[in-house]
Amino acid sequence: MDFSYSDERRMLADTLARFIADRIDPLSRSRLAETAPGYDPAVWSEFAELGAIGALFGEEHGGFGGSGFDIMVVFEALGRGLVPAPVLSALMSGRALAVAGRGEELEAVVTGAQVVAFTHDEADAGYDRAHVTTRAVRDGDGWVLNGAKSVVRDAEGAALLVSARTSGADDDPAGVSLFLVPADANGLTLSPYPCVDGGRAAEIALAGVALPASALVGDEGAGGALIGEALAAGTVALCAEGIGLMEVIRDATVEYLRTRVQFGEPIGRNQALQHRMATVLLEIEQARSAVINAAAALDRNGADRERVLSAAKYTVGKTGTFVAEEAIQLHGGIGMTWELAMTHFAKRLVLINHQLGDEDYHLTRFIALGRAD
């Protein structure tokens, strides 16, 4: 496998790195989280103009990338800059819209004109992808949705791509459909809040939300496959973001060990601290290898792909928590202060472990998929 980026991907990475360095203050993530929508719309438009969203989709869908490695380039850059922007929402919702052939709505996502929040998780579902209690019933030519969704990122002012059950029991993998719900739909209520790692999320209630027939995305009852595609792309993205975060934390910690003087010499000369830092470096490289493997597997199908993705998410979750904890301990008391940028990177890195399934979930899933073979 060739681990090096193509010239086009290197150019994209360099362009994003320069833009983020010029326009993004890592500490702005927490500040923006206090008010809707949780990011700067002007910066979001500039991201779209740079092609950061277009890189996530293939030419047939209005973009110029779309592979796992394109996603990796974009999200590594976002991680290094701790960027507050709804890129993950655009990727996951856009992926489902692309597979369903919804070109008009997808074009609005790719150009940055419309944010579409992926709205699938429910409070009592844990990480069970098939658990959907929100219901959609036919009403003439249209649909009516009732239910609730939990921890929906980037929901304020956005359209929602909502999973709802059109048949079957609450945990039945079949019988789930996807619906595109406008932000101003009657019966839609948002209870937003800032997230601990920056950005904003919302609890969402759907009480008699009436939708036209055209709101159904894909075929009735076949939403499971679309959700699977969205979650697969989102998993690669989060893993890549985690690598970007780890690298910033690593560099900041190495620099601190070099410059923090105690008893007349840099603390980095302490052999015990050197050994701890060496372990951090090795663990990050292992995690990077797992993410490269996941990016390469994204275009595959079936249990093979899902097993590789779960392996990567488990590795990034476990390693990310370790790297964050080690960095804070090696920084000492200053590592606990809100004013230190590294603290914010560490917080985001730990929370990535809990998005789209934590390390325990993905380890269990990895084992189960292996048995299925």
Q: Give yes or no for residue 354 having a pLDDT over 90.
A: yes
Q: Percentage of residues in the chain with pLDDT exceeding 70?
A: 98
Extract the tokens encoding 72.
Answer: 């990796």
Spatial CB neighbours of 84, under 8 Å, sequence gap ≥ 6: 24, 28, 29, 32, 33, 38, 39, 40, 198, 199
**pLDDT higher than 70, residue 259:** yes
Asked if the model's pLDDT at residue 227 lies above 70, the reply is yes
Conformational region of residue 152, where left means phi above 0, alpha means psi within -120 to 50, and beta covers everything else: beta
Report how far residue 362's alpha carbon sits from residue 354's, in angstroms, rounded to the nearest whole number. 11
Q: What are the distances in angstroms from CA 250 to CA 88, 189, 276? A: 24, 42, 12
Q: List the single range of 6-15, 187-196, 348-357 with lowest mean pLDDT.
A: 6-15
What is the arithmetic mean of pLDDT over 291-315? 95
Give the CATH number of the domain where residue 278 resides: 1.20.140.10
Q: What is the structure's pLDDT at 8?
A: 83
User: Does position 301 have pLDDT exceeding 90, yes or no?
Assistant: no
If residue 112 lies in a helix (H) or strand (E), which one and from where to where? none
Say if residue 105 is in the same domain as residue 126.
no
- Digit-coded pLDDT (tens) for 74-128: 999 999 999 999 999 999 999 999 999 999 999 999 999 999 999 999 999 999 9
Which domain-ending residue is among 206, 221, 236? 221
Q: Which two tokens stand for residue 267?
A: 């603390």
User: What is the residue-averaged pLDDT of the chain?
Assistant: 94
| 136 and 41 housed in the same domain | no
* Residue 373, pLDDT score: 54
Residue 62: other Cβ atoms inside 10 A: 18
The verdict on 155 and 274 lying in the same domain is no
* Buried-exposed string 164-195: b where 16+ CB fall within 10 A, e elsewhere: bbbeeebeeeebbbbbbbebebeebebebebb
Question: What's the total number of domains in the chain?
Answer: 3
Range of the domain at 134: 118-221
User: Averaged over 315-336, what is the pLDDT?
Assistant: 94
Q: Is the dihedral of CA 262, 268, 270, 276 positive or negative?
A: positive
Q: So what's the pLDDT on residue 329?
A: 94
What is the rounded average pLDDT of the residues 241-255? Answer: 97
Kindly report the length of the chain: 373
CA–CA gap between residue 205 and residue 133 (Å, rounded): 12
For residue range 357-367, what is the model confidence (pLDDT) as tens digits? 999 999 999 99
For the stretch 359-362, contacts whose Cβ atoms lie closer than 8 Å and that sit 24 or more positions apart, written own/partner, are: 359/313, 359/314, 359/317, 359/318, 359/321, 361/126, 361/127, 362/310, 362/311, 362/313, 362/314, 362/317
Residue 1 lies in a domain: no
pTM above threshold 0.85: yes
User: What is residue 371's predicted lDDT score, i.e. its pLDDT?
Assistant: 67
pLDDT cut 90: percent of the chain above it: 88
